[in-house]
Structure 1
Amino acid sequence: MTQVSERLVRLLNMVPYFQAHPQISHEEAAAELGVTRKQLLADLNQLWMCGLPGGGPGDLIDLDFDGDNIEVIFSAGMDRALRLTSPEATGILVALRALLDVPGMVDPEAARSAIAKIESAAGSTLAVDDPTPAESASAAAVRAATRTAKALSLEYHSASHDAVSTRTVDPIRVVLVGDNSYLEAWCRAAEGVRLFRFDRIVSAQVLDEPSNPPEPAVAAEPDTSLFDADPALPSATLLIDRSASWMFDYYPLRVVRELPGGAFEAAMTYASDAWMSRFVLGFGSAVRVLEPAALAARVRESAVAALHAYEDG
């Protein structure tokens, strides 16, 4: 599916486009707009429900597209050039720059071009401290495959198993959950929909075959249950020192309570005791296991064994 930003731009241009091409056929319009006829009809139905404040029939864009041709009956002012106030322009610039920091959500070159045009029209620039980092090759490949409906070969690092696997997927859409962007795709090996976090995609290659996810998977809303506590998985309660509070930006942790001095008690689900033990040990004294007792004992035994290994050396 196309990204939200691409569809919004297309919808904003549709009314003047159809006014400039009266009685154009569905097939011709879909070809020129670069979408399928099914997507064109979805866009027309969406546009048909948009318009001026008030929401009454006389305020909404009116289109005739039931037959073989498309005609604009009422434009609701969408044929007039958009004029932005200074605060509106600044708000759009801030939003565009924020999207540039989220891998895969927008075409960086298109966003930078839009920023330059808005800044030029506004007669000023929005100061930023750091330049936007270049898009990674894997993010560009994922975005291209999603846009062109091509299958992907991914090398992906699974945080729960601390391992890299290779899998072939059929992209569905790019979604934003919290502060991270994910590829929602049909994983052929797992035979199910999976979410792949962009910063854990080691490499991505667009394949010369169409993406073909099952229709129910495409029609369904993005499944973010991955980010909720899974009752089928064990959960650990961790005591996280203030010095390690950055963990909340990178790992699926849920704050149980905040303690004096900036420490936290947090819950985290995990796939195996072995992985969780290694994970906690990597933080030294900054992270301790409070529960379950068996996991705390395993971490303690592993730490003691490591110290003995150094002593023996």
Structure 2
Amino acid sequence: MTPPRRQPPESATTRLSRLLDMVPWLLAHQGVPLEDAASEFGVSTDQLVADLELLFVCGTPGGMPDDLIEADWEDGRVFLGNADYIARPLRLSVDEALALMVGLRALATTPGLVEHDAVARTLSKLEEATGAIGAPSARVQVSIDDGARASVLGRARRAVADRRRLHLAYLVPARDEVTERDVDPMRVVYLDGHWYLEGWCHRAEDVRLFRLDRIQSLEVLDVDGTPPPQAQPRDVNEALFTPGEEDLEVVVETDRAGAWIVDYYPVDRVEDLGEGHRRVTLHVSDPALVRRLAWRMGGHVRVVSPVDLATSVAVGAQEALSAYIAVPSGLET
């Protein structure tokens, strides 16, 4: 006898979508039998009860009894209360609507976007709802639209699709140097707020990620760009940064308040100095990241090497302090 095929587990997104649909429907059908409600949403009665048990501990921030959704189904009929705020249509403030419209306009200009029609329909509805109030968002689009970056993104995507090799002029922030390299493109990905080209770099003879806003020029070559068999894409669910030969090695010392950077940033070595102090070695592609970290931590993270980076951190901190201390002319008391 063939065992029954197991159903794949339900995703959190699917369940959340059902719960958001379920609340207004149950509010409009108070006292509906469990079986009828389960049939309405295409689930078993056991699943419906599990959903109601979850709704019972959901609500607005605070966690007090009056903040939580009230659900009762013990007599076989479902009653829901204290959930009107979910059943009401979402109302955006003017600032929220404008921000959403600006983002949608920027998204609509992205080359290769599959859902252009969906973006256009959503934007049209927002424009209709906001009327004259939404007009400023069209002007904001001009300031955020980056034609050069869109061009690089579009050509990189076409090179991936056509398996064409790319020639890049790429800025390496760690050395403030523009390097020339040939790359066999593998994919274009959006990670942590930036577009990246992943490909086999013939200069490094390894897979590399290139931030599109650091590509000074991009030329599509009339050469087959199929990556070699050893070129494997990295797992984007893991840390985005992996040290490369062009990255700068930095040594910093932290106290207890700065120890969290070991868990937050990919590091190479950690040495315990006692009393909560640590010496941490890490690689960075952009020294500015370390400078900003040291300034933000206010002495809890101290740069040890390289010396020129430590000096620039100290000079920048002194300049900032002087700016705070200085009294503007004409304001003396």
Tell me which interval the TM-score lies in, with the shorter structure as reference length: 0.3 to 0.5
Q: Which has the higher contact order (CA 8 A, sep 6+)?
A: 1
TM-score by length of 2: 0.42
TM-score by length of 1: 0.44
Highest CA radius of gyration, 1 or 2?
2
